[in-house]
Homo-oligomer: A and B are copies of this chain.
Amino acid sequence: MAAANKKIVLRNYVTGFPKESDMELVATGTAPSRVPEGTDGAVLVKNLYLSCDPYMRPRMSKNDGSSYVDGFVIGEPITGYGVGKVVDSSHPGFKAGDYVWGMTGWEEYSLIKNPSKALFTIRHPELPLSYYTGLLGMAGFTAYIGFHEICAPKEGERVFVSAASGAVGQLVGQFAKLMGCYVVGSAGSDEKVRLLREKFGFDEAFNYKKEKDLSLALKRRFPEGIDVYFENVGGAMLDAVLLNMRVRGRIAACGMISQYNLERPDPVHNLTAVVTKRLRIEGFLVSDHYGKYREYEEKAARYVEEGKIAYVEDVAEGLENAPAALIGLFSGRNVGKQVVVIAR
């Protein structure tokens, strides 16, 4: 009997904080070895690494039409970014043996029907492949676009990054340092704060859970105010940041992880600062910018080779541990980029 294709499926839509029991491991069908006859332009991918990302939380909820991403389908494998190896292809742009990253399924093998829209071939397979779930893939490119394009930073400006030890935050801080900015990050444990200072080279870092007054915590680190805020958390942190922004400051709204599990989002009181300080707050979606990805891939690969960028991953072993790894993001259990290894 051929081996089954193991998958993680969503059992039900989620309200509030997700639980492991909202997902389950199922082993159905047969692990495929070929693109089915008559399926043109598809690739069969053996998944190696899966990426756990905060944006996946809204996909677990019933989509009321307001979200930017489609919801997951009950009973179907969860989808997300991952790294894999092409096993078979009926698409001229991909061939067996290619390493790829992009949108795949939480399963051992995925048949990708629109690979030119979903996948990028990996041009630097000599680097750790798992980096293409983060630094060299979506998270890294998100940090790059969000910081360089949306924040429009200038040398010497004062930059604040929340969730700063996460997949995106750790890179934003390092890109900002490479540009000659003053960079402060916040995170949710002393261990992460230490990473920010010692490994990622942030000028300053603090544990937001230990600060009674977030606005004062920022004022101490930014006595002259914040020029650029890279927003990953939302809620109370955003409110405190608004009080500390400088005139003509810019806020790239990359994510608001503190809000995704709340049925009623936290209040933000200080938006008049947008008027009085002429702020710009801008959301963005990395896939709108993929035209610049190859340029980024080369630049980031060079940074890695030259040791100019430090990168920390939190690696969970085995598809069966993927649900816990994903949920861990929302309590901040991960230290660095959360990856799941299916196969190496």
The reply on A128 being an interface residue by CB < 8 A is no
The answer to whether A68 touches B274, judged by C-beta atoms less than 8 angstroms apart, is no
The reply on A191 being an interface residue by CB < 8 A is no
Q: A66-B277, A68-B247, A243-B66 are in contact. Are A259 and B272 (CB under 8 A)?
A: yes
CB < 8 Å: which of B247, B270, B271, B274 contacts A282?
A: B274
The reply on A333 being an interface residue by CB < 8 A is no
Stretch in A81-89, A249-257, A313-321 with 4+ CB within 8 Å of B: A249-257
Q: A253-B274, A259-B272, A269-B265 are in contact. Are A283 and B279 (CB under 8 A)?
A: yes
CB < 8 Å: which of B265, B278, B285 contacts A270?
A: B265
Q: What residues of chain B lie closer than 8 Å to A234, measured between beta carbons?
A: 271-272, 275
The reply on A267 being an interface residue by CB < 8 A is yes
CA distance A199 to B238 in the complex (A): 41
Q: What residues of chain B lie closer than 8 Å to A278, measured between beta carbons?
A: 68, 282-285, 288
A interface secondary structure, majority: loop
Q: What residues of chain B lie closer than 8 Å to A247, measured between beta carbons?
A: 68
The reply on A28 being an interface residue by CB < 8 A is no
The reply on A190 being an interface residue by CB < 8 A is no
The reply on A304 being an interface residue by CB < 8 A is no
Q: A268-B268, A272-B265 are in contact. Are A280 and B283 (CB under 8 A)?
A: yes
Q: What residues of chain B lie closer than 8 Å to A276, measured between beta carbons?
A: 58, 66-68, 283
CB neighbors of B among A163-222 (8 A):
none
The reply on A298 being an interface residue by CB < 8 A is no
CA distance A266 to B239 in the complex (A): 12
Q: What residues of chain B lie closer than 8 Å to A256, measured between beta carbons?
A: 271-272, 275
The reply on A264 being an interface residue by CB < 8 A is yes
Chain B: minimal CB distance from A72 (Å):
16
CB < 8 Å: which of B68, B238, B243, B270 contacts A277?
A: B68
11 A-B pairs (CB sep. < 8 Å): A66-B273, A68-B247, A234-B272, A234-B275, A253-B275, A256-B275, A265-B269, A268-B269, A275-B283, A276-B283, A279-B283
